[in-house]
Each structure stands twice: as structure tokens, then as C-alpha cells.
Structure 1
Amino acid sequence: MAQATFKGNPITLIGPELKAGDKAPDFTVNKNLLENASLADYAGKVKLISVVPSLDTGVCDAQTRRFNEEAAKLGDNVVVLTISVDLPFAQARWCGAAGIDKVITLSDYKTRSFGKAYGVLIDEFQLDMRAIFVIDANDTIQYVEVLPEMTNHPNYEAAVEAVKKLV
């Protein structure tokens, strides 16, 4: 279990501490209430996975909007996924209101499979910690940023550069 903070207060992250070079763990998340998605659904593509605690907060909103803008420039061999524990219909509502059309939102609400597999499940809140993972077309992790403080922004430029090196 890793330690991080929320507004300076310690929180506990459950799961492994992944690093570049590790094989990307599989996961099961929800596309909607009835349909699941897994890592295999994006086989052969470079994957930028943007993890946010909840789309209805300022930093998560900004992070998702930023990667939506970047997704339009990265090409067809790249998929940008935003994963949160928000319910799928809340994600759809938020995307519609925000004009998000390039990022695919996926929900980790049901089993927290992604959070546990990627070491970003916050024990105290049962939310996923803000993080970025870039995974190559062969499902090897090439870039990891798990934020030490939940309210901080990720390094957008470094994540996008990691993707560009793979396409």
C-alpha cells in the first residue's frame, strides 16, 4: 500500500505500484450500466489512461478537457480513456455538458477493478487516485504518474510526449 495525500492529509492507495516496463494489468470497467470494457478492448492501440477521482470536481474537469483536446491531435492509433468511479450515466451527462467527444469515459464504480489492479484505489474514499498511465500497443506500460497529492494537476506535457514517442 502506497501513501498519498488529499489536501495534505494522508490517504492510502491499495494495489501494486506499477512502473514503466511492467505488463499492463487487465481490468473490467463499465462503458454503461450493462456493458463492460477491459484492456483487451483497446488491443493494438496506444492507450493514454487518465484516472480521475470524479469528473464533477475542478481539477478532474480540467484534466479531462485537456486530454480531450490532446486526443484530437494524437491520431487514430491512440485511444484516450478517462477512468473514474462516477456512475456511467453521470459520466455521459458530464461529457454531454462539457462537449467531450474524443475521450472515452469508463466507470470503475462496480468492482473497483481498475483501481485495485493499477494501485490507485484510495482506501479511505473508495475513489481512484489521480494518475496517468501510457500503455503501448503491446500492453506494456511506458509512462506512469500517480499524483502524490490528489488535488494537483498531472504533468500533461510529459504524458502527451510519452504517447508521441509510441506513434
Structure 2
Amino acid sequence: MRVPEPMLAVPVDVLPLAGVAYEGKWDGYRCLLARHPDGRVELRSRRGTALTVAFGDIAAAAERDLPDSGVLLDGELVVWHEGRLAFDRLQRRLNRTAATVAREIREAPAHFVAFDVLHLAGENLMPQPRKPQALADALVAAAETDDDGYRDDASVVVLLRRAA
């Protein structure tokens, strides 16, 4: 499975109101997450920078939660810390020592918020403009949650919206 360049936002003069879906802007890093059929997990930034080592917690969550038949997700890496999104905690993971990355993983686990499924089980889904929530449900295994319904460790969350 080849990991493509991510689709980026482009400016428009008029905002379309029908037949399109929008993603909210998270305070994180745009990322493509691939779980290859051979079991490898790969995380790449929108510019192609390898992020797998810096986000080993997400790689482990993808191994745990995503199907081993091969999947490619487009989304955003985020860190919640002290009740808010913490972009500075993401930045601490890049170009750092292994000890610093390990400390950040312990203190502020990352989450991958997926907003599109590009490939699944060898099928290229990029031409399909609409992907039902059932696809998201099929992707993420049932995960144990706390009483508040959230995981405190790293997780892969799939948010798919149908176009109107």
C-alpha cells in the first residue's frame, strides 16, 4: 500500500453549502496513519516526515485497534493535557531524545483523530466521497473506556461525516 500525499485545504471565493463535508480544525499535526498488511505501522506528516518514533504510543494503539488487513487513515495527531488540546506537548516529541519522547508518552498520551479512510483491506477508497459511519465502526475494535467514556492512554478515534 503506497502512502499518498495528503489532500490539503485550498482557498475558495465562495464556501459550498451542499454536497460537501467539513472537518474541524484540531490543534495538532496532520498525519497519515498506515497499518500495512505485514503489520508495520507508519505515521507520516503532511510533508512526508516520519512520525512513527515520536508517536510510538499511536503506533501501538494502531496495532491494537486497527485491522491487520491493511488500512490507511488521514487525520490529525492531538494531545489533551490538563483538560485542553496542548500543541506544545506535540512539539516536545519532535527531534528529541528517546528519554524525552518516553516521558511525553507517559505524561501526555497522544490521540489520532481520523477523518477519512483512504484504503482498507487492499481497496482504494479515495474515489468514494461518502463513507458511512458503519465503516468507522468496523475499523476500531471495541476498546475499554473509563467511566467518562474516554481512554486515558493513546487511542485511534475515527470521525467520519457524511456529506449532506
What TM-score do the two structures reach when normalised by structure 1? Answer: 0.26
Relative contact order (alpha carbons < 8 A, sep ≥ 6): 1 or 2 greater? Answer: 1
Greater Rg over alpha carbons, structure: 2
Higher helix share: 1
